[in-house]
A and B are shown apart, each in its own frame.
Chain A
Amino acid sequence: EAGVAQSPRYKIIEKRQSVAFWCNPISGHATLYWYQQILGQGPKLLIQFQNNGVVDDSQLPKDRFSAERLKGVDSTLKIQPAKLEDSAVYLCASSSLSRMNYGYTFGSGTRLTVV
C-alpha cells in the first residue's frame, strides 16, 4: 500500500509569514495525526482527526495554528503568523480505526525553518 504523503519536504519562511502543509494518509485510514518535532526532542501531538472530526487539539496553539481535514481524507496544517520557535519537522501519521493496535504510519515530514 502507498504510504503517507506529505508536501512540501522543506520550507523556509520569514517570521510573521504564513505557511501551509499538506498530508494524504494511507487509503482507508480514518485517523490522522499532526505532530511537531523540535530538534533534539520527540514528536509532540498537535491535533488528531477521526474522519473529518477533531478528536484532540489540546496542544495546538490555536492563536496561530489551524488544521482541517475536509471529506475525511487529505489534511492541511497552517501556521499564521509564524514565529522563530515554530522551526521544526512537522510529521503527519495515520492509522486504521479498526486496527489501531497495529500501529501508526508516518510520512517523511516537512522541515520548516523560520528566519
Chain B
Amino acid sequence: KQEVTQIPAALSVPEGENLVLNCSFTDSAIYNLQWFRQDPGKGLTSLLLIQSSQREQTSGRLNASLDKSSGRSTLYIAASQPGDSATYLCATYGGATNKLIFGTGTLLAVQP
C-alpha cells in the first residue's frame, strides 16, 4: 500500500528566502507525481507534474525533482513571497493501486 509522507508538516520563513519541501513515498512503481497548492478551505491547484521518466520540472520560481529509486520528491520555491503562503500537497499516481494518493501536506507561511 502506497504511503506518502511530507516533511515538515509546517514551515514559517521570512519573505525572500529559498525553501525546500519534501515528499517521500513507499512504492516506487508510480506513473507520475504531482504537486498541488491549496489555499484555506479551497480546492487544489496543480503546480507541477513530473512523469516517472523525468527527473525535474520547473515553472517560474518553482522547481520539483523526482528520484523514483529512493522514493523522494522535493519542491523548491525560490525567493518566497507572502502570496506563496498555503498548504502544499504532493500526490503519487500509479503503483499497485493505480490511484492518486496524497500526503498530508506542508503548511507554509511566508512572513512579510
Contact = CB atoms under 8 A, between A and B. Distances in A.
Interface residues on A, range: 20 to 34
Contact of B44 (A43, A48, A111): A43
A42 B4 contact: yes
Contacts of A48: 99
A40 interface: yes
Interface stretch (B12-20, B30-38, B58-66, B71-79): B30-38
B100 A104 contact: yes
A101 B33 CA distance: 10
B89 A89 contact: no
Contacts of B34: 103-104
B100 A101 contact: no
A45 B99 contact: yes
A14 interface: no
A6 interface: yes
Interface in A86-115: 89, 91, 93, 100-109, 111
B32 A101 contact: yes
B4 A105 contact: no
A101 B103 contact: no
B97 to A, nearest CB: 9
